[in-house]
Amino acid sequence: GVPVQTLTAAELRSIYKRDTQFWSNGDPIRPFALPPESSLRQAFDLAVLGMDPQTATKYWIDQRVRGGAPPPRGVPSVALRARVITSLTGAIAYLPQSAVPQGVRVVAMIRGGSVTRAMAAAPFMADARFSTLVPSMHASVVASLGGP
């Protein structure tokens, strides 16, 4: 599993810009993302990386040219990312709150374009307060609790 309970905005940015590539226990961090045209991806990139779609595209092209780390692995559907996150050690992904599966830990929340830490040691529980949030603008950042 992932050896963190929560992540700050700076830690999340470092993971998704691929500056930090290993968890504190030495396991590789395996970040997953939606395709660039996804509204959830665009909201995530703006909130976490501070980049609009064009800036994010340029950033990853520049990284590739300079021999930097590859971008987070793209997974085209929220449902598939939810399955991957529960089975792959070191995995981290962002999901609409309505799609967070059991067996994962919410390590950060994105609300109103800002990243906030999740409650420490609290796995995601369905909460009526979040039922009216628009999935494309509010997300949970989840990390695998287990896996091979």
Reduced to 3 states (helix: H, G, I; strand: E, B; else coil), residue 92 is strand
Residue with tokens 């949970």: 140
Q: What is the pLDDT of residues 73-85, one digit of tens each?
A: 999 888 888 888 8
How many other CB atoms are there within 10 angstroms of residue 54's CB atom?
9
Q: What percent of the chain has pLDDT over 70?
A: 80
Structural contact between residues 85 and 32, judged by C-beta atoms closer than 8 angstroms: yes
Whether pLDDT at 132 is above 60: no
Q: What is the pLDDT of residues 20-31, one digit of tens each?
A: 999 998 989 999
Query: Closest Cα partner for 121 from 109, 100, 106?
Result: 106
The CA distance from 124 to 140, in Å, is: 9
The CA distance from 125 to 101, in Å, is: 10
Is the CA virtual torsion 52, 31, 110, 129 positive or negative? positive
The CA distance from 77 to 61, in Å, is: 23
Q: If you ran DSSP here, which 8-state letter would residue 107 be given?
A: E
pTM: 0.80
